[in-house]
């Protein structure tokens, strides 16, 4: 599992810590976890190669839909982790995974492991 980079966009520090802990527990020290609180920071982080991403929809400086579109175009797996309703997501992004708050930490960890596994299989195939 070398070169694993996971973007976590979450502006609530307690939720961000929960997500970060769950992902770190699954992936170990080999993974680089990039935790940001804003759309601006997420855009910068998404400009680099990522293994997958977890996006809150509403963060301090707006909504993460532009970041989600960029990830989608790049073929980077991601999930929305949000208290918003799935119907709030623009139509082109509605096929993406949506984990509604309050979410299960196991569900978040499972998404990341599956997303990275699918990425590794595609790279080998």
Per residue in 9-40, is it b (16+ CB within 10 Å) or e — as a string?
bbeeeebbeebbebbeebbeeebebbbbbebe
Q: Model confidence over 80-110: pLDDT tens digits?
A: 999 999 999 999 999 999 999 999 999 999 9
Cβ neighbours of 99 (radius 10 Å): 17
What CATH number corresponds to the domain at position 92?
3.40.50.2300
Domain that holds residue 110: 4-124
Domain count within the chain: 1
Q: Model confidence over 62-79: pLDDT tens digits?
A: 999 999 999 999 999 999
Question: How many residues are there in the chain?
Answer: 125
């Amino acid at each position: 599992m070398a070169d694993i980079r996971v973007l976590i966009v979450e502006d609530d520090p307690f939720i961000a810590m929960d997500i970060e802990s769950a992902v770190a527990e699954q992936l170990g020290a080999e993974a680089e976890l990039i935790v940001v609180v804003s759309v601006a920071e997420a855009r910068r982080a998404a400009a680099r190669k990522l293994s997958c991403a977890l996006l809150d929809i509403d963060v301090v400086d707006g909504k993460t839909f532009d970041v989600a579109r960029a990830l989608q175009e790049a073929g980077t797996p991601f999930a929305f982790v949000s208290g918003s309703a799935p119907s709030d997501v623009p139509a082109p992004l509605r096929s993406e995974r949506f984990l509604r708050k309050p979410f299960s930490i196991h569900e978040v960890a499972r998404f990341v492991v599956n997303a990275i596994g699918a990425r590794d299989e595609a790279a080998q195939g």
